[in-house]
């Protein structure tokens, strides 16, 4: 539907983190103009206290007043309130199909959990009615937590994976969607019978994404992980990614038993990373989840291919997979983002994942006796936004507020009714933001926009 507006001007306090070490960039009384057709930012004017329509005329002198929409999020009139606009979160690793199992993992670790909890659930989603319920809920829930971009795993089923893509398009959530590929070492009821089947279904899925013709909705090549794909499938998926110039997502080095298994299954490769590398699956658009046990050689390979890592600290804790040193990745200049890894991770909130990343980094610092392990609040929030954008190859489009970037944004209100955050008159501005980091949740997310278009978010009864 074509908007009656040609320009939307968002006005308020804009906060983002433009680089890992930059800290909070706070732009107050700031007007950001968004081209309604393209969804991209056309101007940014901070400390602006004049008539906003003047900015519209500067941008296009022919614009009529009723072609300009003003979204005023400024709250300077009221000393007791505090709200700001922040880049939408980027979830670089989430299993949409596993959402009903969030919080269900018992005492299990990865390989038994896959067999007991995960494969039976994923298999249920071949039923399109079930898939519709699950996928609608996970999109609604992630949007309500401020996730504007997500890299989703679906299941091995073509039709329900197509449905996930359609729903992301309808809900207006920027997404990479992967039909899972797996042709070995999986239960008979949940496995693809051959490489050909897996490749053909993936091609059909790519065609479907092309038919949606929505630049926010993308296909991603998704070998589940090395143990569930034979060499032939891995190699053909590498070729497919190259042929269609598509991103790739998979799991790497998450659990010690998994590592041993990969070593037994693929003895001809020097290490786990080489299994992917030598089959054409590592490039600048590859998202590697976990990467807990990589050695220096493997990290160097990932760096040289400019692949990115999805750090999933909640999942790593839930399945007792291990403590992952993010600082090691950052020191090597490897791209890092955050992933909920629903449902190995119990939440769909990237803010909660960012908090846990912070906590795990402190545990590592004490285990290793090295304070350099600690990642700061703003570093964690960078990973949750622009860091994730880099991992997904979207760094020129999302993750921070810059002219020509897409307007993917969440309105955070710390003083909304029901908020868990108590502010005091002596709180400094950055302290308010740190309080949000530790005690904020979806109650503070008042609105979400992707490409300048507002997304519906669930049950905001107090608004």
Report which of 172, 218, 217 is spatially closest to residue 449, judged by C-alpha positions.
Answer: 172
Binding ligand GUN (rule: CB under 6 A), the pick from 225, 329, 390, 407 is: 225
- Whether the Cβ atoms of residue 57 and residue 117 lie closer than 8 Å to each other: no
**Is 293 or 407 the residue whose CB approaches ligand GUN more closely?**
293
Alpha helices in 309-405 (DSSP H): 313-318, 326-331, 350-368, 377-382, 388-391
To ligand GUN, the closest distance from the beta carbon of 345 in angstroms equals 8
The site partner of 97 among Zn ion, ligand GUN, none (C-beta below 5 to 8 Å per kind) is none
Minimum gap (Å) between residue 206 Cβ and ligand GUN: 22
Which one of 315, 317, 349, 400 is in contact with ligand GUN (CB under 6 A)?
315
Question: CB 138 → Zn ion: shortest distance, Å?
Answer: 14
Report residue 133: phi and psi, to 5°. Answer: -65, -50
Residues 251 and 280 sit within 8 Å (Cβ to Cβ): no
Find the angle CA(266)-CA(264)-CA(181) to the nearest 5 degrees.
55
Q: Binding partner of residue 379 among Zn ion, ligand GUN, none, CB under 5 to 8 Å per kind?
A: none
- Closest contact distance (angstroms) between CB of 363 and ligand GUN is 20
Q: Which residue is listed with tokens 């298994």?
A: 261
Q: Tell me, by CB under 6 A, how many residues bind ligand GUN.
A: 11
Among 444, 344, 384, 336, CA closest to 149: 384
- By C-beta, is 154 or 344 nearer to ligand GUN? 344
Tell me the closest approach of the beta carbon of residue 97 to ligand GUN, in angstroms. 9
Residue of 108, 100, 109 lying closest to 131 (CA atoms): 100
Q: State the minimum distance, in angstroms, from the CB of residue 115 to ligand GUN.
A: 11
Which lies closer to ligand GUN via its Cβ, residue 302 or residue 386? 302
Handedness of CA 323, 327, 329, 334 (dihedral sign): positive
Q: Which of 251, 327, 358, 435 binds ligand GUN (CB under 6 A)?
A: 251
Q: Among 6, 13, 95, 355, which residue interacts with ligand GUN (rule: CB under 6 A)?
A: 95
Subset of residues 377 to 406 that bind ligand GUN, contact rule: CB under 6 A = none
Query: Considering CB distances under 5 to 8 angstroms, the limit depending on partner class, which of Zn ion, ligand GUN, none binds residue 224?
Result: ligand GUN
CB of 254 to ligand GUN, least distance (A): 5
The item of ligand GUN, Zn ion, none sharing an interface with residue 225, based on CB under 5 to 8 Å by kind, is ligand GUN
When the beta carbons of 225 and 390 are compared against ligand GUN, the nearer one is: 225
Among 6, 27, 179, 224, binds ligand GUN (CB under 6 A): 224
Beta bridge partners of 410: 86, 448
Q: Residue 272 in contact with residue 292, Cβ under 8 Å?
A: no
Which of 91, 192, 230, 341: binder of ligand GUN (CB under 6 A)? 341
State both tokens at 292: 């807990």
Q: Residues near 292 by Cβ (< 8 Å), separated by ≥ 6? A: 253, 254, 255, 316, 321, 322, 323, 324
Residues 6+ apart with CB under 8 A from 170: none
Cα angle 57, 59, 65 (rounded to 5 degrees) comes to 35
- Smallest gap from Cβ 289 to ligand GUN, in A, equals 7
Interface with ligand GUN by CB under 6 A: which range of 110-118, 207-215, 240-248, 332-340? Answer: 110-118
**CA–CA separation, 414 vs 421, rounded Å?**
6
254 touches, from ligand GUN, Zn ion, none (C-beta below 5 to 8 Å by class): ligand GUN
Question: What distance lies between CA 300 and its chain's CA centroid?
Answer: 24
Query: Which residue's CB is nearer to Zn ion, number 349 or number 410?
Result: 349
Per DSSP, the three-state class of 71 is: strand
- Nearer Cβ to ligand GUN (271/316): 316
d(CA 397, CA 382): 15
Among 16, 192, 254, 298, contact with ligand GUN (rule: CB under 6 A) = 254
CB of 128 to ligand GUN, least distance (A): 21
Pairing of strands 180-181, 174-178: unpaired
Smallest distance, ligand GUN to C-beta of residue 399, A: 24
Residue sitting closest to ligand GUN (CB): 344
Does 118 bind ligand GUN (CB under 6 A)? Our answer is yes
* Residue number with CB closer to ligand GUN (272 or 437): 272
Smallest gap, in angstroms, from Cβ of residue 402 to ligand GUN? Answer: 33
Q: What would the two tokens of residue 28 be? A: 């107050």
Pairing state of beta strands 41-45 and 25-35?
A: antiparallel
State which residue, 343 or 397, has the beta carbon closest to Zn ion.
343
Q: Which does 230 bind (CB under 5 to 8 A by kind): Zn ion, ligand GUN, none?
A: none
Contacts of 369 (CB under 8 A, 6+ apart): none
Which positions from 425 through 454 interact with ligand GUN, judged by CB under 6 A?
none
Q: How far is CA 438 from CA 44, 55, 146, 415, 418, in A?
A: 29, 37, 16, 15, 16
Q: Which residues bind ligand GUN (CB under 6 A)?
A: 95, 110, 114, 118, 224-225, 251, 254, 315, 341, 344
């Amino acid at each position: 539907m074509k908007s009656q507006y040609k320009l939307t001007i968002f006005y308020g306090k804009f906060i983002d983190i433009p680089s890992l070490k930059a800290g909070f960039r706070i732009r107050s009384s700031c007007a950001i103009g968004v081209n309604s057709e393209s969804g991209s930012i056309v101007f940014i004017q901070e400390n602006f206290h004049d008539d906003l329509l003047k900015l519209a005329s500067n941008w296009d002198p022919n614009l009529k007043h009723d072609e300009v929409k003003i979204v005023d999020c400024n709250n300077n009139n009221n000393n007791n309130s505090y709200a700001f606009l922040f880049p939408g979160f980027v979830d670089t690793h989430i299993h949409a199909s596993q959402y009903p199992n969030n919080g269900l993992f018992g005492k299990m670790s990865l390989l038994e959990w896959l067999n007991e909890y995960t494969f039976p659930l994923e298999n249920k989603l071949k039923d399109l009615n079930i898939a519709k319920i699950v996928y609608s809920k996970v999109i609604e829930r992630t949007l309500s937590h401020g996730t504007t971009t997500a890299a989703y795993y679906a299941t091995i089923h073509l039709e329900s994976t197509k449905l996930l893509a359609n729903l992301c398009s309808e809900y207006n959530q920027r997404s990479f969607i992967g039909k899972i590929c797996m042709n070995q070492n999986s239960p008979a009821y949940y496995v693809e019978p051959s490489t050909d089947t897996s490749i053909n279904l993936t091609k059909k899925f790519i065609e479907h994404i092309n038919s949606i013709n929505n630049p926010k909705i993308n296909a991603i090549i998704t070998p589940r992980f090395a143990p569930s794909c034979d060499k032939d499938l891995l190699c053909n998926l590498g070729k497919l990614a190259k042929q269609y110039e598509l991103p790739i997502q998979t799991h790497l080095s998450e659990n010690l038993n998994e590592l041993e298994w990969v070593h037994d299954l693929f003895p001809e490769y020097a290490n786990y990373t080489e299994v992917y590398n030598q089959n054409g699956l590592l490039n600048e658009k590859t998202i590697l989840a976990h990467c807990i046990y990589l050695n220096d050689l493997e990290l160097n390979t990932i760096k040289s291919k400019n692949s990115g890592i999805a750090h999933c600290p909640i999942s790593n804790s839930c399945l007792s997979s291990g403590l992952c040193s993010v600082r090691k990745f950052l020191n090597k200049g490897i791209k890092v983002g955050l992933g909920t890894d629903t449902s190995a991770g119990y939440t769909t909130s990237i803010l909660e994942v960012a908090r846990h990343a912070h906590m795990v980094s402190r545990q590592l610092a004490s285990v290793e006796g090295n304070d350099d392990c600690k990642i700061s609040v703003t570093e964690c929030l960078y990973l949750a936004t622009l860091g994730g954008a880099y991992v997904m190859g979207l760094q020129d489009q999302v993750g921070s507020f810059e002219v020509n970037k897409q307007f993917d944004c969440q309105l955070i209100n710390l003083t909304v009714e029901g908020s868990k955050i108590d502010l005091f008159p002596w709180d400094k501005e950055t302290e308010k933001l740190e309080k949000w980091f530790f005690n904020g949740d979806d109650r503070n997310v008042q609105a979400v926009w992707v490409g300048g278009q507002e997304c519906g978010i669930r049950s905001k009864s107090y608004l």
